Amino acid sequence: MFDPRKKLKIIPAYTGLTTLKEVLKDERAQRLLWLEILFNDTIDWRKFKRKILKKAYKKASLWYGHFKTMIDNYVGREPLKAQRGRIDGREYRTFLEALNLVTA
């Protein structure tokens, strides 16, 4: 179960949604889950069994694998299991915006 004391960091800035329950009902917010996972290590994302969260976790791990050094240096999060594979370069700007948000 999601601990409500552990706050979402990225998604509220983009959507105004503050709970995981709200996020799972909103398509736009679901598309941002990978960023939340990538930059918010206060939540243990591995424990969730929902397909959408597993898919977002995998995507976050791919991005972490490509930008591990940058994320570790700027964010200082617990390491994700870095995976190799293709990332969608069209999402690079969104990645940088989220990185800027968490480091500001």
Q: What average pLDDT does the structure give for the chain?
A: 91
- Could you give the number of structural domains in the chain? 1
The pLDDT-based confidence of 3 (bands split at 50, 70, 90) is: low
Cα(79)–Cα(20) distance, integer angstroms: 22
Cα(2)–Cα(71) distance, integer angstroms: 24
Cα(82)–Cα(41) distance, integer angstroms: 14
Residue 50 forms part of a structural domain: yes
Joined together, the tokens standing for residue 60 give 């976050």
Residue 49 forms part of a structural domain: yes
Statement: residue 2 has pLDDT above 70: no
pLDDT per residue as tens digits for the range 44-90: 998 899 999 999 999 999 999 999 999 999 988 889 988 999 999 99
Residue 56 forms part of a structural domain: yes
pTM of the model: 0.90
Name the residue range of residue 19's domain: 11-103
